[in-house]
Amino acid sequence: MSATTPRRVGIYPGTFDPITRGHLDIIARATRVVDRLIIAIAVNAGKEPLFTLPERVEMARHEAAQIGNGDGSRIRVVPFKSLLMNFVDEVGASVIVRGLRAVSDFEYEFQMAGMNARLNPRVETIFLMAADRYQFISSRFVKEIGRLGGDVGHFVSPYVQGRLERRFRELGVSEGAARVRRKSRKKTGRRATRG
């Protein structure tokens, strides 16, 4: 590509709470379509994320650095708090990348793409599908499984798995442990009232 050829910049927005093997598969595919990819991590306070914005950015940076074939050097991870379509302009992107898992994703993505197209008609949204073995993965279920003490190693990298385990330890969960604590608190409470 000559120096004068405009570079196609794509932006892959999401919450990434935390980044999963599904996200990574989409990222690897996106780097084949665009010259530079910006992983834009939304603050998304409404979703009450398990990880803070700086933590999610740090994990995504760690994961992006592992992506092979030198593709990692074409990826940047940045936080954003503004309207996506304004942010797209700020970073000079012309393509929004989204992943589609199942029919269930379609309606939401369809509406979002339509409204974004109205806000900024110069930007195209493209949808990519992950490989079969990653399609069912969602950050939400990874967190639910992890919270209950299940093995999330199939769904996230060992690094992210470690971060999840640490976070649940910090929060004093697994749920199993919490249930035992609740039970014993009830018992002690009962004993205390009985005198």
Asked whether position 101 contacts ligand ADP by CB under 6 A, the answer is: yes
Nearest distance from C-beta of residue 105 to ligand ADP, angstroms: 5
Q: Which of 102, 106, 122, 128 is nearest to 34 (CA)?
A: 128
Whether 122 is catalytic is: no
Location of structure tokens 């595919």? 29
The answer to whether 23 is a known catalytic residue is yes
What part of residues 104-123 is at the interface with ligand ADP (CB under 6 A)? 105
Catalytic residue from among 21, 56, 139, 143: 139
Cβ neighbours for 57, distance < 8 A, ≥ 6 positions apart: 41, 77, 78, 79
Output the smallest distance, CB 167 to ligand ADP, in A: 17
Taking alpha carbons only, the member of 131, 192, 160 closest to residue 56 is 160
Helices (H), 49-173: 53-65, 84-91, 103-119, 132-135, 139-147, 158-171
Residue among 18, 22, 49, 146 that touches ligand ADP (CB under 6 A)? 22
Size of the site for ligand ADP (CB under 6 A): 17
Active site residue 154: no
- Answer yes or no: 139 catalytic: yes
Site for ligand ADP in 148-187 (CB under 6 A): none
134 is a contact residue toward ligand ADP (CB under 6 A): yes
Kind plus residue range of the DSSP H or E element containing 12: strand 9-14
Residues annotated as catalytic (active site), given as ranges: 23, 47, 101, 139
